[in-house]
Amino acid sequence: MIAKKLNIGDTIGLISPASPENIDVIENGIKFLKNKGFNVKEGKNIYKRYGYLAGSDKERSEDLINMFTDKSIKMILCVRGGYGCMRTLPYINFNIIKDNPKIFVGFSDITTYLNVFYEKCGLITFHGPMLNSTLDEITFKSLFNTAMNPITNYTISNPSGINAKCNFSKSVEGILVGGNLSLICSTLGTDYEINTRAKILFIEEVGEDPYSIDRMLTQLILSNKLDQCAGIVLGQFTNCKLPHYERSLTLNEVIDDRILALNKPTISNFMSGHDYPKLTLPIGARVRLNAPIGSIKVLEPVIY
């Protein structure tokens, strides 16, 4: 299931489904979108604060559902991640989302929604920048070209000068799923567990030591999630290094041991995650992982 494309002059709805953001950051983001020619509608509770959450679970889930039912909204853009999306899942009526498909964009903690909306509703969602992101030229074009141009198929590849690394000589196809590694692991054993069978699994992370990356990848191995997937895309692992490694494996050693040793088609150093430039990926779309050249070809329309 795909949503209608975004046009200049359309309205973008803003929600804060996880942690709160500073008012000036929200205001600057709104000004940026308006200067680009879009209208903006704020969720009722986007300025709320409840500890590390942007309002109560019901308030945040109500903003989400209201944006899906609002006929004036073409794209729903999350203000930021942080923590909290999983807490709202029991309050979400997925039939409403299924009946009102919209372009839905976010990453990090929003990983939960991206995959659950695909699994429960069949909706293709977008792992991309949020309102508080730095919308450099490449990041901006990747998101809005994706949201505004209904192309039958297209290729996503790193910007010139940033090489993706590949370990395999053949390509593989499958539905693209995934996002933030810790959020993927957090769904395991729940009704919202990610399904990786025959899928292309995308993984990125931020601020985790190598041992923590090791622990989470091992959890995916023990739950058969890595064995079941057809291929893997490793995005940006930002600030996941240590000042010394006297008592630690390096991140690359962890990746070699936990991922590359599986001998599955894998692309690493793909520019999507918690750094810039940030490429927008369609979660739930059928793609071809072109391992030999380090690119992803989207094989179906993701908007219409």
Strands (E), the chain: 11-15, 39-42, 73-78, 103-106, 125-127, 154-156, 165-166, 172-180, 200-206, 231-238, 266-268, 281-283, 286-290, 295-298
Catalytic residue among 19, 21, 208, 274: 274
Contact 30, 91 (CB under 8 A): no
Alpha carbon of residue 67 to chain centroid: 19
* Alpha-carbon gap, residue 230 to 197, rounded angstroms: 7
| Three-state secondary-structure class, residue 82 | coil
Cα-based distances in Å from 53 to 24, 47, 91, 253, 280 = 18, 10, 16, 35, 26
Catalytic residue among 204, 205, 272, 295: 204
Collect all residues with Cβ–Cβ distance below 8 Å to 92 and sequence separation of at least 6.
Answer: 61, 64, 65
Catalytic residue among 108, 133, 142, 186: 108
According to DSSP, residue 166 is labeled E
Fill in the amino acid letter for 292.
P
* Alpha-carbon gap, residue 128 to 278, rounded angstroms: 7
Collect all residues with Cβ–Cβ distance below 8 Å to 165 and sequence separation of at least 6.
Answer: 267, 268, 269, 294
Collect all residues with Cβ–Cβ distance below 8 Å to 20 and sequence separation of at least 6.
Answer: 47, 48, 49, 52, 53, 54, 55, 82
* Helix count and strand count (H, E) for the chain: 10, 14
Question: Is 274 designated active site?
Answer: yes
Active site residues: 108, 204, 274
